[in-house]
Amino acid sequence: MKKLQIFTLVLCMTLTLFAFVNSYRMTPLIQVSPDYAVQRFHEKTGKPILSELPPEEQHAYLIEAGVDMSGQFTWENSQDLILDTIQWTESDPIITGLTYNNPGTVTFCTEVRNAVNRYYGREQYLSALSKDALVRVLTEYGVEFPKEDTDEYATCALATVLFTEMYGTFYPMRNSQMNDFEKQVYAAATAYYKNRPTATEALRYFRQKVKAHSYIYS
């Protein structure tokens, strides 16, 4: 029964997130420009906006950052994809890279996204952590994971974290035990980002974009 409740919760949140990702796919790339957080970073540090550098300099940074371009996705055959991913990440630091159907493309674009986030000094996003790492971090912030069904609760926690990052809230459940667990995760994620102003500033713009797509939960 408990596993069914966890599955139902994750399914509900996933459907909501899927609706946004689908709408995100429909957004023309021309609408994207470096967000205010990126502009503020440039003004404070004098460091150039990555997407405004010549392509060869963007390429050089990604190589330096450890992005693997020796396999299926090389600079020669994937330059447009890479440059688009850099531009998207400047506005949307989380969803970028997740909107493709091909798992290999998702993996590569996620690697580029993470490198761009590091360029801007954006601290590690919780949703980018592995399940084990996420459980460790959330436990440090007071989340109590049951000894039984730990993996299922970790899946639930990841969905709750992503929902929190995108919407700034959590998905309520009628089951009091699951609802209490979600509240713990939401409180932990909120506390985590309170100490990470650069990431929080980028999330603020990202949530505005989510609202603009009219899939906000209220």
Whether 124 is covered by a domain: the verdict is: no
Report yes or no on 94 lying in a domain: yes
pLDDT by 10s per residue, the chain, length 218 = 455 454 455 444 444 444 444 444 444 443 444 566 788 788 888 999 999 999 999 999 999 999 999 989 999 999 999 999 999 888 778 777 777 788 899 889 989 998 998 998 887 788 878 889 999 999 999 999 988 888 889 988 988 998 888 888 887 777 788 889 999 999 999 999 988 887 887 787 777 766 665 444 44
Count of domains for the chain:
2
Containing domain of residue 50, as a range?
32-119
C-alpha to C-alpha distance for 155 and 26, rounded to whole angstroms: 28
Shared domain check, 187 and 146: yes
Please tell me the distance from the alpha carbon of residue 20 to that of residue 168, in angstroms, as a whole number.
15
Q: Residue 56 burial by CB count (10 A; 0-12/13-18/19+): exposed, middle or buried? A: exposed
User: How many Å apart are CA 21 and CA 215, to the nearest integer?
Assistant: 10
Residues 9, 38, single domain; the answer is: no
Residues 90, 142 share a domain: no
Domain stop point among 83, 98, 119: 119
Examine residue 43 and state whether it is found in any structural domain, yes or no.
Answer: yes
Query: Is residue 210 a part of any domain in this protein?
Result: no
- Residue 102 token pair: 């091909």
Tell me the Ramachandran region of residue 198: left when phi exceeds 0, alpha when psi lies from -120 to 50, beta otherwise. Answer: alpha
Scanning 46-175, the segments in alpha helix (DSSP H) are: 55-64, 75-91, 103-119, 131-140, 150-167
177 assigned to some structural domain? yes
104/134 same-domain check:
no
Same-domain pairing of 134 and 111: no
